[in-house]
C-alpha cells in the first residue's frame, strides 16, 4: 500500500499568533520567519507515527508560480523547517484556480489509493467536495496544530489503514 498522505495548510496550522509574536520579539525577517514550535512538534510526531508524506496544500503554493526571489526564499525557509522537523515536503497539490478542496481532490484522483488526512483551518475551502470532509482535521487558527488535532489526525489515519484496502469511494 502507498504511504499515507498528509495535506498541509500553513497559515493557521503552522503560522499562528505565537509564531507571529516570536517573529516580532526576535525581529525575524519574513524569509527566515519562525513557525509555531508546538505545531511543529505535533506535526513531527504525526509524520513519525504514521509514516505519512507531506503534500503542501496551502496557498503558499502560489509562491511557486511567482518566480520572485524573495517569495522563493520564504518558501525555501518553510521547506527547510519542515525537513528539519522530519516532515519534508514530498509533493504539492495542483494549482487549478478552483477551491483548495477541488485541488486536493484532483491530487487524490491522480495518485494511487492511500490513506490521507487534511490539516486546514478553513472548512469553507472544502464545501465543493463534501467527500473530503471525513478526512479533514479542522485546526483552530488561533492555536495552530495541537495535541487534540494530532489525536484526531492519528485516529483518521488509523481508521483508514485498518481497512483491508482503501476503497475508491474513500478516495473521493
pLDDT, tens only, 60-93: 887 767 677 778 888 899 999 999 999 999 999 9
**Tens-digit pLDDT profile for residues 127-143:** 999 999 999 999 999 99
Residue 71: its pLDDT value, please? 80
Look at residue 171 and tell me whether its pLDDT is greater than 70.
no
Higher local confidence (pLDDT), 88 or 19 = 88
- Can you give the pLDDT at residue 170? 53
The residues, ordered by sequence, that sit 6+ positions from 156 with a Cβ below 8 Å of its Cβ are 115, 117, 134, 135, 137
Q: What is the per-residue pLDDT for 32?
A: 80
> How far does CA 124 lie from the centroid of its chain?
16
- Among 102, 87, 86, 108, residue whose Cα is nearest residue 2: 108
Greater pLDDT, 61 or 147: 147
Is pLDDT larger for residue 170 or for residue 128?
Answer: 128
SS (H, E, C) 68-134: CHHHHHHHHHHHHHHHHCCCCEEEECCCCCCCHHHHHHHHHHHCCCCCEEEEECCHHHHCCCHHHHH
Q: Which domains does the chain have, with CATH numbers?
A: 5-164 (3.40.50.1000)
Nearest to 117 by CA among 154, 169, 172: 154
Distance CA 130, CA 154 (A): 21
- At 169, is the pLDDT very low, low, confident or very high (cuts 50, 70, 90)? very low
Q: Specify the pTM.
A: 0.89
Strands of 89-92's sheet, edge to edge?
Answer: 89-92, 53-56, 5-8, 116-120, 136-138
Q: Across all residues in the chain, what is the average pLDDT?
A: 90
At 163 the three-state DSSP class reads coil
Residue 89's φ and ψ, nearest 5 degrees, are: -75, 120
Task: Express each pLDDT in 88-132 by its tens digit.
Answer: 999 999 999 999 999 999 999 999 889 999 999 999 999 999 999
Amino acid at each position: 500500500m502507498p504511504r499515507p498522505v498528509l495535506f498541509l495548510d500553513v497559515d493557521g496550522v503552522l503560522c499562528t499568533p505565537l509564531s507571529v509574536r516570536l517573529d516580532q520579539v526576535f525581529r525575524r525577517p519574513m524569509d527566515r520567519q519562525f513557525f509555531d514550535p508546538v505545531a511543529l512538534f505535533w506535526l513531527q510526531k504525526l509524520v513519525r507515527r504514521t509514516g505519512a508524506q507531506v503534500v503542501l496544500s496551502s496557498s503558499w503554493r502560489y509562491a511557486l508560480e511567482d518566480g520572485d526571489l524573495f517569495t522563493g526564499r520564504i518558501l525555501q525557509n518553510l521547506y527547510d523547517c519542515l525537513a528539519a522537523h522530519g516532515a519534508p515536503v514530498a509533493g504539492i497539490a495542483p494549482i487549478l484556480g478552483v477551491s483548495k478542496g477541488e485541488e486536493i481532490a484532483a491530487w487524490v484522483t491522480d495518485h494511487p489509493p492511500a490513506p490521507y488526512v487534511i490539516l486546514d483551518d478553513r472548512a469553507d475551502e472544502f464545501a465543493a467536495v463534501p467527500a473530503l470532509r471525513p478526512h479533514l482535521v479542522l485546526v483552530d487558527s488561533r492555536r495552530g496544530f495541537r495535541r487534540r488535532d494530532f489525536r484526531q489526525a492519528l485516529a483518521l489515519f488509523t481508521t483508514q489503514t485498518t481497512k483491508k484496502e482503501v476503497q475508491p469511494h474513500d478516495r473521493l
